[in-house]
A and B are shown apart, each in its own frame.
Chain A
Amino acid sequence: MIRKPLRPLALVLEARAAGQNPKDIERENIRARQEQARDASRSRAESRLLVLLLTFLSLFGLVAFQMGVLALSDASEPTSSYSGPSIVAQRGNIVDREGRILATNIDTYSLYATPQDMVDPEMAAKGLVEIFPELEEQDLLRWFTGKRKFLWVKKKLSPEQKQAVQDLGEPGLKFGPRELRLYPNGSLAAHVLGGASFGREDVAAAEVVGVAGVEKTFDDFLRDPARAGEPLQLTIDLSIQSAVERVLQGGMTLMNAKGAAAILMDVNTGEIVSLVSLPDFDPNERPPLPTSGSPTDSPLFNRAVQGVYELGSTFKIFAAAQAIDLGLVTPDTMIDIRGPLKWGKFRITDFKNYGNELSVYDIIKKSSNIGTARLALQIGAERQQDFLRALGFDEKTSVEMVEAKGGKPKWPSDWQDISTITVSYGHGISVTPMHLAAGYATLANGGYRVTPTLLKQDYPQRGPRVISPETSRQVREMLRAVVKEGTATFGDVEGYAVGGKTGTADKAKENGGGYYEDRVISTFASVFPAYDPKYVLIVTMDEPELATEIEPKRTAGWTAVPIAAEIITRVAPLLGLRPEIEPKPQTGVTGASN
């Protein structure tokens, strides 16, 4: 700050000449300037105080005005003016492909207590325990006489229970309206639907949110108020789902399996007509997450889309299809299958000795590991991996269930030639049954990549071409031969020309370190009708053991195949397929030597 000169020189000199003290001049000077500054600041403060005064006056006026506006407007009931961030309970129905209800809502009530309004807490607790035996009287009494002013007693009441509580006549027990998600078919399609529970809730309403399956995937869609409860239509067919589930459940019991899964899918559109994973659960009373044991054994675990398994010999057809498509072999090319095939420290053997050489056609039919390994070695690791990627075996499926995100395939961490060999017959690579369904659909439908979906498709999917139509036709003939005279003869259903491939894979131990000798995953991947495939059906069983035979049978031919045949017998008519006499194989293509 630049200070003003305090000593006007002329004045000081003048004073000196007059014999006065120059300091007086100085003091007088400062005083005068101080006066001036004060006057200036006072007048400025005066105007600023006026500004303040007017501001306050207008603000107080505004408050008063607003008070008047509010006081003279009509009061509205607090509960009726629900808007803004209120809870929207509306949730669309889920229906099957024929429009039959899979999930809907019913109006119900929840029960809560406000202990300070209670007349007789002891009677209330006693009465409640009579109505809901699962409640503890001691707990209730403690809550009702404690400090809490609000507590939920039951989240869902049946009309009878509500009436009974009402009859208690306790003013401190109150009801809040609720929309309850109801699955009228019980456990049917439980894994597809998933389930719903309450999200945000208050006394007047509660949000129903999806917690699993399509309920979660399409949560926003189902809750979208703009759609006003328009239903979500799935590709599932209720009656077919029911049939598949019944047969699979029966088969699982018969085979003493601890789990099973089935997928029925349209080979052209990728529409999933039925998806079953057993054991299952009732989405109306969704069980809590398991706290002990392997999560993959929980009823909540969706084996069809979540479980990744080594699916064994079902993979052989991929090696054969690729080798044919690349022009390396024809179905008639003879392959040396003398065993055991030694590769480094590994020995590859067959289930039985099939002789010195087999045609590609017979390798599939008899399911020769050595033969498939030879094909894979001809193809080479790189082309094999490309083919698996083209089938979508390298990433999780995009099927519309949240659980599908958990089904990421497992590839060998270090892909060596031995991996190429084992992968060709389905070991060392783990995928979900859903992947397998998509892969078989692709081979069967003329060679187009298929993406499985739960939403209705208007047209056949035309994904990238993976194999040529001619290869597809030859693959179908080989698959048909497996059922007609190969490892899956139990799978033949007259009139529906089932084609397929079995797979029996030893189960890997959970904690690593090799495979169980007596536990298998047996799988049957089938397409039907083989001459013009419409559907692919995957049946996979976890640790089946058919004890009716002399020695226990575990192979897919004895376990998964008969179940698949039973399923096809039941659902093919429901699918609208007519039993037909199969056309004769065209001569000269397969060289029907066998």
Chain B
Amino acid sequence: MTEMVYGALPAHSGDPVLPRWWRTVDKLTITCILILFGIGILLGLAASPPLAARNGFEPFYYVQRQAFFGGLALIVMLIASMMDPRQLRRLSTVAFVITFIALALLPFFGTDYGKGAYRWYSLGFTSLQPSEFLKPVFIVVSAWLIGSASEINGPPGRQMSLVLAMISSGFLVMQPDFGQASIVLFSWGVVYFVGGAPMLPLLGIGALASLAGVFAYNNSVHFARRIDGFLSPDIDPTSQIGYATNAIQEGGLFGVGVGEGSVKWFLPDAHTDFIIAVAAEEYGLILVLLIVALYALIVMRSLLRLMRERDAFIRLAGTGLVCMFGVQAMINMGVAVRLLPTKGMTLPFVSYGGSSLIAMGAAMGMLLAFTRARPQGEISDILGKRNRR
């Protein structure tokens, strides 16, 4: 009974690991992710040679790195998807502690790569962005806390997770990295929402978030300029967003042709934040709609599977992860089409970036683990064993 309630039957059922994994895992989502990754490599072939040329590398340097990190990310994803939720929960808690400390120590040991924001640890051959790894494990820990809060005699998990969210996003704001901070807060909000948040505090959080926005607007020139740029009705054609808009328009329905695009030469972030503009220019609306559809499909599919889930922790953790994934994709694409102000946010699995790729692989691996088909106590429902008073 206890096992049924707390999900996750132990794996010593005699069923071999791989067949059971293949039987229960969400194969459609895996397919979608693989396609996205393939598209990422394809676009990288187009978008990154100009950057490689600027930095004095051979043309496909960044594509090779992308393939390497992507392979790593897929391996991490597959391994994570094979673990059972309880293992993941433990690992995540440990990882959260580590990344949290790493985040706290960034101002002392991190590098800013001349960009004015201390977000990275330099490891020589590559750099590490702790905030990317913090997000998924934070979500799992929050889900655990909030999920157990609803148990009778459970801990005050909501308050505890809120404190964690506040401190983490506080660190991120100090870097400053408003994008990641808002993602952390957003994920926490989603978990709290699904975890049975009363409506009033939710509204309060909404108000608080807008207050934080106003505060940031008044106190950060960087932030204010972006918002002003977004609110002004005219696009400055020499800005990133101006080039992106122009690229999407140039691309039209079928694109200007593979390798024929020009936006990658103008945009410094063509291979990361504005990769969708490269896709739109060279391959046209068709590919862009395909990408949007793939993201939407992953999100829909996972949410539908999670709706059937009876275990509160798994439901919440899965929801948080998939929403983080979805919102990141949405912000990235929303910026390119001017639905949102300019915000550096990578397009999961498509954009170039080592830390973000591997972290996203881990996140999606956990999501796959949480959405695996498992007994949900339907039998006991049918048998009416659960006597209610």
Contact = CB atoms under 8 A, between A and B. Distances in A.
A49 B306 contact: yes
B310 A70 contact: no
B388 interface: yes
Contact of A71 (B5, B196, B251, B326): B251
Given A30-B152, A81-B235, A84-B233, A74 B289 contact: no
Contacts of B299: 53, 56, 60
A71 B300 contact: no
Interface string A81-105: 1111100000000000000000000
B17 interface: no
A74 B251 CA distance: 10
Given A60-B292, A60-B299, A67-B248, A72 B233 contact: no
Interface stretch (A35-43, A164-172, A537-545): A35-43
B315 interface: yes
Given A67-B333, A78-B242, A41 B307 contact: no
Given A35-B388, A41-B312, A66 B339 contact: yes
Nearest to A78: B237
B300 A56 contact: yes
Nearest to A69: B337
Interface residues of B, number: 57
A33 B150 CA distance: 12
Nearest to B292: A64
Contacts of A57: 296, 300
A391 B205 CA distance: 65
B193 interface: yes
Contacts of B194: 45, 48-49, 52
B102 interface: no
Interface in B160-212: 190, 193-196
A202 B334 CA distance: 29
A73 B251 CA distance: 10
Secondary structure class of chain B's binding surface, majority of residues: helix
B306 to A, nearest CB: 6
Contact of B285 (A67, A76, A78, A85): A67
Contacts of A291: none
Contacts of B339: 62-63, 66
A49 B334 contact: no
B118 to A, nearest CB: 24
A78 B326 CA distance: 32
B370 interface: no
A119 B44 CA distance: 29
Given A37-B150, A63-B339, A71-B253, A50 B307 contact: yes
B269 interface: no
Contacts of A50: 307
A150 to B, nearest CB: 12
Interface size class of A (residues with CB under 8 A): 35 or more
A151 interface: no
A2 to B, nearest CB: 13
Contacts of A20: none
A200 interface: no
Given A63-B330, A73-B249, A37 B152 contact: yes
B150 A41 contact: yes
A575 to B, nearest CB: 52
Contact of A53 (B238, B304, B310, B337): B304
A250 B284 CA distance: 75
A66 B334 CA distance: 9
A75 B250 contact: yes
A64 B303 CA distance: 20
Interface string A21-37: 00000000110111111
Contacts of B312: 38, 41-42, 45
Contacts of A68: 285, 289
A35 B1 CA distance: 12
Contacts of A85: 232, 234, 236
A44 B285 CA distance: 38
B232 A67 contact: no
Contacts of A78: 237-238, 242-243, 246
A75 B196 contact: no
A59 interface: yes
B237 A81 contact: yes
A75 B243 CA distance: 11
A548 interface: no
A56 B5 CA distance: 30
Contact of B289 (A42, A48, A67, A70): A67
B288 A71 contact: yes
Interface in A532-574: none
B196 A34 contact: no
Contacts of B319: 49, 52
A44 to B, nearest CB: 6
B280 interface: yes
B257 to A, nearest CB: 15
A62 B340 CA distance: 12
Contacts of B249: 70-71, 73-76
Given A56-B299, A60-B296, 17 more contacts: A38-B310, A38-B312, A41-B150, A48-B193, A49-B194, A56-B330, A63-B292, A63-B333, A63-B337, A67-B337, A70-B249, A71-B248, A72-B252, A75-B249, A76-B249, A84-B233, A85-B232
Interface of B: 5, 150-152, 190, 193-196, 232-238, 242-243, 245-246, 248-253, 280, 284-285, 288-289, 292-293, 295-296, 299-300, 303-304, 306-307, 310, 312, 315, 319, 323, 326, 330, 333-334, 337-339, 386-389
5 contacts: A46-B307, A50-B307, A60-B326, A72-B285, A82-B237
Rank and list the top 5 A-B pairs by shortest CB-CB distance, nearest first: A84-B234, A78-B237, A75-B249, A60-B296, A71-B285
